């Protein structure tokens, strides 16, 4: 049993070494155990599923707006960070869903419900930059890798507890491990990714010539509509914290925006 545990622990250490990388722009250390090509394939498969189940909007103005903004941000992304994505931009007809996302590989979806809050190109660029920032930083692959690591850690802990021969203690410890992983690691990390996507996305949008101040007006409008759970229970930051972090970033973003406008 001891030898098996040493092998498993050694494998986890090897995964940390193999999977260590850094997020673009922020330089944050990441653990990613999924290859970029695997991630892209998952993105392409998900895109096909979405297109087969959702209705693509025929609204010429909304489609032109999304494509115009998306292409400008994508050009900056490819020029400065070289992800080599196959970019495509889709507007999904769903006024009840105020949502947008970018799948690995560059498939960007914007739901018509988001236009209730994004009144102009600058505000929509803050949203699309944020979603493209998630993809550029490979946040999906990072979450998948952390989930895999948590699963392995749970298996190791369970094997240790079972070896001690007390089923009641094993059950209690495993529940505590699950709660601790969720609230102490997974949710805080998800909120960290959201702040990072804000940062990356605003850099991309500013470099593409979109005013970073528009992110404040967008998120302020978005925050007024609906209740949010306490931050520690959520995958997303509290609106006030998000807005405050964006406000603190803006002085460093304005030179990028002004340079792009010249």
Residue 3 has pLDDT above 70, yes or no: no
Q: How far apart are CA 59 and CA 62, in angstroms?
A: 6
pLDDT value at position 53? Answer: 96
- Give the pLDDT of residue 127: 97
Greater model confidence, 16 or 100: 100
Q: State the pLDDT at residue 5.
A: 46
The tens digit of pLDDT for each residue in 144-188 reads 887 656 554 444 444 544 445 545 444 443 343 343 333 333 444
Counting residues of the chain whose pLDDT is more than 70, the rounded percentage is 72
**Residue 227 above 60 pLDDT?**
no
Q: Mean of the per-residue pLDDT values for the chain?
A: 81
In angstroms, the CA 116 to CA 205 distance is 20
Write the pLDDT tens digit of every residue in 186-211.
444 578 999 999 999 999 999 999 99
Tokens at residue 131, please? 């979603």
Provide the domain count of the chain.
Answer: 1
Q: How far is CA 144 from CA 39, 139, 178, in A?
A: 10, 9, 16
Q: How confident is the model at residue 20 (pLDDT cuts 50, 70, 90)?
A: confident
Q: Does 96 have pLDDT greater than 80? A: yes
CB-CB contact of 132 with 77 (8 Å): yes
Region 51-59 average pLDDT: 97
HSE of 259 in the Cβ direction (CA atoms, 13 Å)?
10
Report the pLDDT value the prediction gives residue 244, as an integer from 0 to 100: 96
For residues 35 and 151, the model is more confident at 35
Q: Which domain range does residue 71 map to?
A: 2-261
DSSP string, 198-239: HHHHHHHHHHTT--THHHHHHHHHHHTSS----GGG-SS--H
Which pLDDT band holds residue 33 (cuts at 50, 70, 90)? confident
């Amino acid at each position: 049993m001891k030898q098996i545990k040493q092998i498993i622990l050694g494998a986890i250490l090897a995964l940390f070494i193999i999977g260590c990388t850094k997020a673009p722009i922020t330089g944050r250390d990441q653990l990613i155990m999924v290859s970029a090509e695997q991630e892209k394939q998952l993105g392409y498969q998900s895109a096909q599923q979405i297109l087969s189940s959702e209705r693509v909007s025929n609204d010429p103005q909304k489609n032109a707006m999304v494509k115009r903004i998306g292409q400008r941000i994508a050009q900056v992304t490819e020029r400065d960070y070289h992800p080599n994505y196959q970019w495509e931009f889709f507007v999904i007809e769903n006024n009840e869903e105020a949502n947008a996302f970018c799948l690995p590989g560059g498939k960007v979806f914007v739901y018509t419900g988001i236009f209730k809050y994004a009144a102009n190109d600058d505000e929509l660029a803050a949203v699309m930059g944020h979603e493209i920032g998630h993809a550029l930083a490979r946040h999906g692959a990072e979450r998948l890798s952390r989930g895999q690591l948590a699963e392995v850690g749970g298996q190791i802990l369970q094997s240790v507890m079972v070896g001690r021969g007390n089923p009641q203690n094993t059950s209690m410890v495993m529940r505590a491990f699950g709660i601790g992983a969720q609230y102490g690691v997974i949710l805080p990390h998800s909120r960290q990714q959201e702040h990072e996507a804000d940062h990356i996305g605003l850099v991309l949008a500013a470099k593409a010539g979109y005013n970073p101040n528009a992110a404040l007006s967008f998120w302020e409008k978005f925050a007024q509509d609906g209740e949010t759970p306490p931050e520690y229970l959520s995958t997303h930051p509290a609106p006030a914290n998000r807005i405050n972090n964006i406000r603190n970033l803006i002085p460093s973003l304005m030179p990028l925006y002004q340079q792009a406008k010249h």
